[in-house]
Amino acid sequence: MFSDSLSQYIQQDEPLASRCWLKIGGSASYYAEASDMEVLKALCTEAHRLDIPVKILGGGSNLLIRPGSVDALVLRLVGEFQSTTIRENHLIAGSAASLSDVISKAAEHGLSGLEHLAGIPGTIGGAVVCNSGVKNDDIGSHVLQVHAIDREGNLHTLNRDALKFSFRRSNLEDVVITGVEFALERLDPQEVTRRLQANWIVKKAAQPASSARVGKLFVEPGGSRIVDLLDAVGMRSTAEGGAAMITQFPGFVQVNENATANDVLALSNRIARAVEVQSGIRLRSQLRIW
């Protein structure tokens, strides 16, 4: 199993429910926190040697964990991976840095480009992998390069021409992002802050409180609004077991203390089938399912 030098970092059968917003799910066969590149590289190399999959746990806002055991090494990045540095009009953020904190720091220094993403939860790494965004902008548009480590423990710097971003997707699913460099535009800090605050107010008004055991079920489909699709099939407030759609926030699901991941999956599948039959639109899940 894991070598003696790494055993101090590894916890077995670690509960994961408290680490995601929905507060449901099982445990990780192996769990570790890496605070620097040396430890992360060693853990990835060892997991590869043992043929154990590696999963990265970020902010947990879009994560659904099934009951039972996640048969993987679940890694949470801390320490140096939460840092943020500014050099002229470039911002370099660790993958575990909070997206909201990075946006705020960019605004304070008069760097524009990320303020449109205000109100989106999660970490920089998760946002880049999923290419988080709003209607007319996404985070991938501002990425200059990505620093990453592959499953064998090899370090890579991926320049802009090696990166592929599309609607809520990227080509970074198979690497562990360690840091991201953004090229931003210099503006008056007060103007950037004003934009950030305006976007934050709009975003917060359109989503439930982050502490309410909620998640967004589907990626907003291009060319259609999820609220219209739900209304067309009469499923804006439908429920399954302990999971229920939130009527006043279309597309969001809320779970109670008795809910299971299977309730959420059943609800998601039922809605997706109804929408596809009615409109021909195939909804894509916003949730990452372990």
270-289: pLDDT as tens digits: 999 999 999 999 999 999 99
Q: Are 62 and 122 contacting, i.e. CB atoms less than 8 angstroms apart?
A: yes
Token code pair at residue 134? 């709003």
Q: Are 168 and 132 contacting, i.e. CB atoms less than 8 angstroms apart?
A: yes
33-84: pLDDT as tens digits: 999 999 999 999 999 999 999 999 999 999 999 999 999 999 999 999 999 9
Residues in the chain: 290
149-195: pLDDT as tens digits: 998 899 999 999 999 999 999 999 999 999 999 999 999 999 999 99
Confirm whether pTM is higher than 0.85. yes
Q: Looking at 168, 169, 195, 288, which residue is catalytic?
A: 168
Q: Distance of CA 76 to CAs 32, 126, 166, 265, Å?
A: 6, 12, 26, 25
Active site residue 168: yes
Domain boundaries in the chain? 4-77, 83-205, 214-289
The matching CATH number, chosen from 3.40.50.460, 3.30.420.40, 3.90.1170.40, 3.30.465.10, for 83-205 is 3.30.465.10
Class in CATH terms, 214-289 = alpha beta
Give the residue carrying structure tokens 């934050």: 200
Please tell me the CATH code under which domain 4-77 is placed.
3.30.43.10
Q: How far apart are the C-alpha atoms of 78 and 83, rounded to whole Å? A: 9
